[in-house]
Amino acid sequence: REVVATLHEQLVKWNLVVWTAGNVSQRLRTADLMVIKPSGLRYEYLTPSSMVVCDLDGNVVDGSESPSSDTASHAYIYRHMPDVYGVVHTHSTYATAWAATGQNIPCGLTMMGDEFGGPVPVGPFRLIGSEAIGEGVVETLKEYPKSPAVLMQNHGPFTVGKDAESAVKAAAMTEEVAHTMWAARQLGEIIPISDEDIAKLNDRYTNVYGQH
């Protein structure tokens, strides 16, 4: 609860959300449970005790608040992607603009090859309030297995990770590349990176970069 509550501050810090929109969840490694943000509560009021514990069917197990309206979709992702332990949803401006136009963010940056292993894909249009969005995320990531992000059409980005912090990082990176690629489009045609070079970038980033 403390980890998830604190990570919501990062969504605000990186300008990924406004008012009460967006959410972070983390799945436990010790039980089939997840912790998620309550619905409709402003970020400055979030505390560890206000976080809601749910099972992986989206049922509330512990907490006095109603869970996020995206809870069923988070739960669906966890049930169908066993390596995922963190999920984030934002409405960050530039990533959501690409989602509103139904376009993948093209892979025109080495950092995209690193982080996403290719373009950031667009998922299908799905209505909020059921597990339908989660289904769309899972379906899309089957086609783009190296990407930690999906732009759900007409809605916004969902990101996944090995924990909630990794998913928050992916959300920040998604907005960064969305903004840069939008700016590049204003200047001219984006120069694509070859699939071969993308694979090399992603392999280096995954297996060499950072501390191991």
What is the band of 22 on the pLDDT scale with cuts at 50, 70, 90? very high
Phi, psi angle pair for 118, to nearest 5°? 140, -160
Residues contacting 8, CB < 8 A, separation 6+: 23, 24, 37, 43, 46
Residue 132 has pLDDT above 80, yes or no: yes
Residue 96's SS3 state is helix
Which two tokens mark 62? 């512990």
At 119 the pLDDT is 98
Buried b (16+ CB within 10 A) or exposed e, 130-145: ebbbbbbbbebbeebe
Domains of the chain: 2-207 (3.40.225.10)
Half-sphere exposure (CA, 13 Å, Cβ side) for 191?
Answer: 2
Please state, for a pLDDT cut of 70, what percent of the chain lies above it: 100
The angle subtended at Cα 81 by Cα 94 and Cα 17, nearest 5°, is 25
Mean pLDDT confidence for 67-83: 98
Residue 212 has pLDDT above 80, yes or no: no
Tell me what the mean pLDDT of segment 19-46 comes to.
97
pLDDT at 77: 98
Per-residue pLDDT tens for 168-210?
Answer: 999 999 999 999 999 999 999 999 999 999 999 999 999 998 8
**Spatial contact of 63 and 37, defined as CB atoms under 8 Å apart:** no
